[in-house]
Chain A
Amino acid sequence: MHSVKRERATAKVREERRRREGGKIVEYKALVDKVLSSRNNHDYTPDALSLTTTLLKQNPEYYTVWNYRREILSSIFQTQTADTIQSQIDSELQFLFARLIEFPKCYWIWNHRKWCLQSSPSPSWKFELGLVTKMLDRDARNFHGWHYRRYVVQCTEKATGKSMVRPEFDYTTTKINANFSNFSAWHNRTKLIPRLLKEEPEIDARKLLENEIYLITQAIYTDPDDQSVWLYHRWLVTSDDIVKLSSDERKDLLEKEIKSIQELLEVEPDSKWCLQSLAFYKGLLATLTGERVESSVHGYLDKLQEIDPMRKNRYQDWKKQL
């Protein structure tokens, strides 16, 4: 009949695979040897460049080879006009884009891209922003992407003389609404808010703080297990970079948030982050008021030792310091 029943992977098939892979390993090692000896011989020819291309396609984590590639390119650029350098860089950027799609979290690829833009006679920051936006659409939690985005925004601002704080702030809002479990988006927000307040003095900083607390509280109640939202909450409550609160105002804020988290703790009695945050905020409150730390904090730390036994000693230490 013309149908074929599914075959189980036979020992023969597995052996066949091993043989093929063994061959590939031998090939790879030979390539590495070639590239490294080429470098030792200070070979900066286009042939050497294409050797590194082959190797980096297979293993972009080999940062020595990226260094070598930059040495080759720098040497080649010395004898070229700006136009030629630009087109060389452009093809380099294309090469990097393909690598990024395959390995979006490799430090060395992002790093090399940065180097290319720094060596470029006329870098297109607009294109770079578009690229990093696409990468973050694919994976909003890629911190390499966010870091690179900050770099691109900084360079754009320098080149145009215009601040990008407002659109970048709105961008973090979009990303957070799509998925608030995102350390990088919240972190970026902490960098942007102080600048935003400085650049748009008509914004009521207190109102903004109130809005941010409203926002983060929604997130905390939606998913109290997500660490990133608690970190942002802590920044909002303790930072001096949003509003310079007086001691009394800080106390009021702490008390309000403590109450809010306590309500959450009532429905989620085993929430690690609720307990930790309450212990921390109550401790902070005690420092501000000069009073003793509430006894409930001891209770929280005991409970934490129970539910998070891996960090038992840390909580014990904490208790001692109270």
Chain B
Amino acid sequence: MATTTTSAAESTETCDVLIYGTGLVESVVAAALAWQGTNVLHIDSNPYYGGSWAALNLDELKAWTDRVNDSASNNTPFSDAYLYISRNLDPRKYAIDLSPHILFTRSDLLNLLIKSRVSRYLEFKPLGSFHTFEQDSFEKVPGTKEDIFTSQTLTLLTKRSLMRFMKFVIDWEQNSSIWQEYKDEPISKFLEERFGLDAPQIVELVHSIGLLPTPKAPTELALGAIKRYLTSMQVYGNFPAMYSMYGTGGELAQGFCRSAAVAGAVYRLGTKLIGFDEATSEAELDSGEKIKVTEKIISSEGVIAGDEEITRMVAVVEKDCKEWFAEGESAAVVVFPVDTLDGNRYAVQVLVMGSGSGQCPSGQAIWYLSTQESGEQGRKYLYVALEKLEETILRESTEDFEFDVNEEEISYLPNGLPVISSVRLGESLRNFSPKESLKYLLKLTYSQKVTVSPIEPTADSKVIYTIAPSIDLAFEGIVDQAKGLYELVTGTTDDFFDVDFEDEDDDATATAAAADTDIRDVAQDKDDDVVGHHSDFEEVAGEMTI
């Protein structure tokens, strides 16, 4: 609990750990430390939670663009932002996710969300539509035994090979004899040589199931990514992933901050850390206050190591894009594999968010595109992908598409299903010119630096830096990173979120009642000495029950 000694000119606070930036990793750490009993002061220079993971409304987005383009003062991983916003948009009706991510149902992060009960602050929605851009159209990826069984396009032997591979990959770690020699070789080589898979299957597995940037990704890494998707199917239903309403990363970060506040952490938004005196262990905030930090400072602002840069694009379109969503869902993933957009070396991944995600009004959708290609090249490929998306949505949502078929062009599968020559179909689709054009309400492109390797803190360094959001579409390694930081502060990970929020046994109601009292005392204390923008948490202190 941060304490205050009142003084006329300056107040000196003390905390064990000062965390600067409310990005996802540092927010997890804040909550973990707070529940363990550490006195945490958590600040952020922005007037919102989430830092580089946040979802911004349009006013915040404009301010962000200016900040990011001011190279002198920019200390975010972002740069080179070009923003176009159509007039007459209500800025508060949009939540533009700066680092869009999806959450697989089998993941450390989801387990932690449930264990920590932060999931109760969030509203999750399913994501089961994964498409690969193949031959000018979006093919839905077969991800389960049932998809493979019912597929009308895969041959029998392909079905067998795919199933054999899927059975292997579920348990791949235990079967190192099969992949050990291919460990660092490209996954495409492994799939072809070891499982006899053909190019189309390899492309789908690599890009839409593994969400990998290229088929050259090393086998060991790729197998983990592919397993992640396949084992995530059927956990909650016919979908492997989820997202949170209003922008996943920011909402998760905010959720963990809320949890941390309940556990006693103190929050201040709109507060900059302007200096740190190693000798006195005092941190100076832009308000003039000096905070004595007894243990560590964890900072997400400042050093971004490495020159690897990715390119992102956000487009808000006046189309609901429901043609791309599975029934009952409001989002989809589309991947443009390597070499499908005029020689792209890396895949372009697109996350389509419909209005059901809470990120835009109904009748619209947000397209989040990203690629590992950097600079001009990166932007070029994103624009080509954008064109393809535009063509496809206009074609699929139009009602004026006419397709003449004559009897000779139809052949029948043994089970009676008619099949039209796909060449002819492709031709017709390619020659289709939509009568309408797509209205863009917002376009944003920007670059994002990736932390290649974080700076290793020395044993006695007071300041530890976290790393920026990754370029993976899925959350990866968040919990590991948070545990790593936690260990640097406390020396162990044994009690990381090892908390009993509620006692299930009848015998323990006494303990629960005691805990309840504690919370209320804490809430009262909080009102006295906490300053700043944390109105979210005042209500939490009141409504929290055990």
A residues whose Cβ falls under 8 Å from a Cβ of B: 1-7, 13, 16, 177-180, 207, 210-211, 213-215, 217-219, 221-224, 263-264, 267-268
Known A-B contacts A3-B500, A16-B507; A218 and B414 likewise in contact (beta carbons under 8 Å) = no
Give the complex CA separation of A207 and B511 in angstroms.
71
Q: Is B500 within 8 A of A6, CB to CB?
A: yes
Interface range for B: 20 to 34
Query: Hey, which bits of chain B sit against chain A, CB under 8 A?
Result: 35-37, 145-146, 148-150, 156-157, 159-161, 163-164, 263-264, 413-416, 495, 498-501, 503, 505, 507, 511, 515, 518-519, 522
Q: B159 to chain A: which residues have CB within 8 Å?
A: 218, 221-222
Given contacts A179-B145, A180-B146, A215-B415, 15 further A-B contacts (CB under 8 A): A1-B37, A1-B518, A2-B515, A2-B518, A2-B522, A3-B36, A5-B500, A177-B149, A180-B149, A214-B414, A223-B145, A263-B156, A263-B157, A264-B160, A267-B157
Please measure, in the bound complex, the distance between the C-alpha atom of A263 and the C-alpha atom of B161, giving whole angstroms.
13
Please pick, from A2, A222, A267, the residue contacting B145 in the complex, using a CB distance under 8 A: A222
What are 19 A-B contacts defined by CB distance under 8 Å?
A2-B263, A2-B518, A2-B519, A2-B522, A3-B499, A3-B500, A4-B503, A5-B498, A5-B500, A6-B498, A177-B150, A178-B146, A180-B149, A218-B156, A218-B159, A219-B149, A223-B163, A264-B160, A267-B160
Asked whether, in the complex, the Cβ of B499 is within 8 Å of the Cβ of A5, the reply is yes
Residues of A within 8 A of B519 (CB): 2
A221–B156 Cα distance when bound, in Å, is 6
Complex: how many Å from CA A5 to CA B494? 11
**Distance, CA A223 to CA B151, complexed state (A):** 14
Distance from B507 Cβ to chain A, minimum over Cβ atoms (Å) = 7
Which listed residue (A178, A214, A222) contacts B160, Cβ 8 A?
A222
- Which residues in B have their C-beta under 8 angstroms from that of A213? 414
Please state if B500 and A218 are interface contacts (CB–CB under 8 Å). Answer: no
A2-B515, A2-B519, A179-B146 known; A221-B414 Cβ under 8 A: no
Chain B residues with CB under 8 Å of A1's CB are 37, 264, 518
Main secondary structure of the interface of A (DSSP, over half): helix
Q: Which residues of the other chain, B, contact A178 by a CB distance below 8 angstroms?
A: 146
- Docked Cα-Cα span, A177 to B147, in Å, equals 9
CB–CB B146/A177 < 8 A: yes
User: In angstroms, how far is the closest chain B Cβ from the Cβ of A70?
Assistant: 38
Docked CA distance A7–B503 (Å):
10
Task: Report chain B residues within 8 Å CB of A207.
Answer: 416
- Pairwise interchain contact A3-B149, C-beta atoms closer than 8 A: no
Residue of B at shortest CB range from A12?
B507
Question: Do A222 and B163 have beta carbons less than 8 Å apart?
Answer: yes
Compute how far the CA of A7 lies from the CA of B515 in the bound complex, rounded to whole angstroms: 15
A280 to B536, CA, bound (A): 72
Are B263 and A3 in contact, CB atoms less than 8 angstroms apart?
yes
Measured between beta carbons, the chain A residues less than 8 angstroms from B148 are: 222
CB distance from B279 to the nearest CB of A (A): 32
In the complex, A264→B163 CA distance in Å? 13
CB contact between B415 and one of A16, A179, A211, A219 (< 8 Å): that residue: A211
Residues of A close to B156: CB separation below 8 A? 217-218, 221, 263-264
B residues within 8 A CB of A267? 157, 160-161, 164
Are the C-beta atoms of A211 and B414 separated by less than 8 Å? Answer: yes
Q: Give the shortest distance, in Å, between A264 (CB) and chain B (any CB).
A: 7
Report the separation of the CA atoms of residues A235 and B511 in the bound assembly, to the nearest whole angstrom: 64
Complex Cα distance, B160 from A210, in Å, reads 21
Specify which chain B residues have a CB less than 8 angstroms from the CB of A219 in the assembled complex: 149
Q: Which residues of B contact A268 (CB under 8 A)?
A: 160, 164
In the bound complex, CA of A311 to CA of B426 (Å): 54
- Complex Cα–Cα for A217 and B157 (A): 11
Cα A211 to Cα B101 in complex, Å, equals 44
Q: Which residues of A contact B146 (CB under 8 A)?
A: 177-180
Q: What residues of chain A lie closer than 8 Å to B414, measured between beta carbons?
A: 210-211, 213-214
Contact A218 B149 (CB under 8 A): yes
State the CA gap A223–B161 with chains docked (Å).
11
Cβ B507 vs Cβ A5 within 8 A: no
CB contacts (< 8 Å) of A211 on chain B: these are: 414-416
Residue numbers in B under 8 Å from A2 (CB-CB): 263, 515, 518-519, 522
Instruction: Kindly identify which residue among B415, B505, B522 contacts A214, using a CB–CB cutoff of 8 Å.
Output: B415
Contact across chains for A5 and B495 when beta carbons are under 8 A apart = yes
Chain B neighbourhood of A4, CB < 8 A: 499-500, 503, 511, 515
For A4, A5, A13, A219, the residue with the greatest tally of chain B CB atoms inside 10 Å of its CB is A4
The complex places the Cα of A2 from the Cα of B264 at a distance, in Å, of 9
How far apart sit A100 and B196, CA to CA, in the bound complex (Å)? Answer: 47
CB neighbours of A223 from chain B (8 A): 145, 149, 163
Residue among A2, A13, A214 having the largest count of chain B Cβ atoms under 10 Å: A2
Q: Which residues of A contact B35 (CB under 8 A)?
A: 3
The chain A residue with its CB closest to the CB of B495 is A5
Inside 8 A of B500's CB, which chain A residues have their CB?
3-7
Distance between B124 CB and nearest chain A CB, rounded to angstroms: 23
Kindly name the residue among B415, B501, B518, B519 whose own CB sees the greatest number of chain A CB atoms within 10 A. B415
Closest to A178 in B: B146
The 7 nearest A-B residue pairs measured at CB: A2-B518, A214-B414, A221-B156, A4-B500, A211-B415, A222-B149, A221-B160
Q: Give CA–CA (A263, B353) in the complex, Å.
A: 45
| Complex CA–CA separation, A179 to B161 (angstroms) | 19
Which single residue of chain B is at the shortest CB-CB distance from A266? Answer: B157
CB neighbours (8 Å) of A179 from chain B are 145-146
Complex Cα distance, B413 from A16, in Å, reads 66
Complex Cα distance, B518 from A98, in Å, reads: 42
B544's closest neighbor in chain A, by CB? A2
Chain B minimum-CB-distance residue to A264: B160
Query: In the complex, what residues of B have CB within 8 A of residue A16's CB?
Result: 507
Q: Who on chain A is nearest to B163 by CB?
A: A222
The CA-CA distance from A215 to B149 in the complex, in Å, is 9
Bound-complex Cα distance A213 to B511 (A): 65
- Distance from A182 Cβ to chain B, minimum over Cβ atoms (Å): 12
Interchain CA distance A64-B30 in the complex, whole Å: 61
Contacting residues, chain A, for B518 (C-beta < 8 A): 1-2
**B253 CB, nearest partner CB in chain A, Å:** 21
Bound complex: CA A222 to CA B158 (Å): 9
A62: min CB distance to chain B, Å: 29
Which residues of A have CB within 8 Å of B150?
177, 218
Docked Cα-Cα span, A219 to B145, in Å, equals 9
Q: How far is the CB of B19 from chain A (nearest CB, A)?
A: 19
Closest CB of chain A to B348's CB: distance in Å?
32
